Amino acid sequence: MKANTAKILTVIWRLGLIVIALSLPAWADWKRAGGSAAAANEPPPHPLSYFTKDALLREYDGRVCESCTKEAKAEALKDTRAEVVPIGEVSGYLIFDVDYYQRNGEAPFARSTIVKTGSDEYREIFYTQPSPDGFVSRSVLLMISDQRHFLWKREDGGGNKHPTEDFAFWFDTQGCTSLEMEVLWKAAWDVSPKQDGAQVMIWNATTSVKGTALVLQAPVWDYSQHPPPEIGTVTVEFKTDGGRIVVTAKKYVPKK
């Protein structure tokens, strides 16, 4: 009898652990995002010196160090520099952009976003190498409450068509989670006018906070005319839930 009771208690205890584990928020993933192939993984934390020195010698499409010999790396360091730019603090996490420059370069050839998670421990959540005529926006940090923040970045490929890609991250007390932005653009296109030439200008989109909701707005232009006029604005309100974006409202307002 005692043996059976012990077995039953053991089963109940294990089931209790499973229930507790499933109920705990496990959304923070610290996954790195970005426009370059090197971004798609979960990098380990590094000291700050890694991002101001060693990171300069990553594979930059041959723009910094075509030869990876020790001598070539030492030579490449002479012509590169890193600038660490404070962005803000979220739930005790300090956030920085790191810009990488050639010695005489005016625009960074690569940009990283790092988060301080220890005394000298930093996690990289974003890294990209924009095209020579493209650029990456400075991080935009939006506060929903004292412990809930939304960070947004954009990479613009430049040229005539300006191909863009947006990257979003959610911060709370659990840490950082990368988010998929595609659901927002789908919602914007769903409510935009279906007339020929109407196009949502995603590269002119902005994000903001409205009460406890996040808001994305983008103008709509009519490319059936030349030059194309702005004919209205799409607005998408959203929130995050379990590490994903959820659209709560969407509308199109014609320009008067």
The secondary element (H helix, E strand) that includes residue 23 is helix 2-23
DSSP state for residue 46 in the 8-state scheme:
B
Contacts (Cβ under 8 Å, ≥6 apart) of 9: none
Supply the CATH classification number for the domain 180-256: 3.10.450
Closest CA to 198 of 241, 153, 228: 228
- Confidence band for 27, pLDDT divided at 50, 70 and 90: very low
Residue 119 has pLDDT above 60, yes or no: yes
User: Model confidence at 54, in pLDDT bands (50, 70, 90)?
Assistant: low
Quick one: pLDDT at residue 56? 64
Per-residue DSSP letters for 144-173?
EETTEEEEEEEEE--TTT--EEEEEEEEET
User: Residue 146 — very low, low, confident or very high, per pLDDT cuts 50/70/90?
Assistant: low
> CATH 3.10.450 spans which residues of the chain?
180-256
pTM: 0.73
Does pLDDT of 208 surpass 70?
yes
Whole-number percent of the chain with pLDDT over 70: 70
With contact defined as beta carbons under 8 Å apart, do 116 and 122 qualify?
Answer: yes
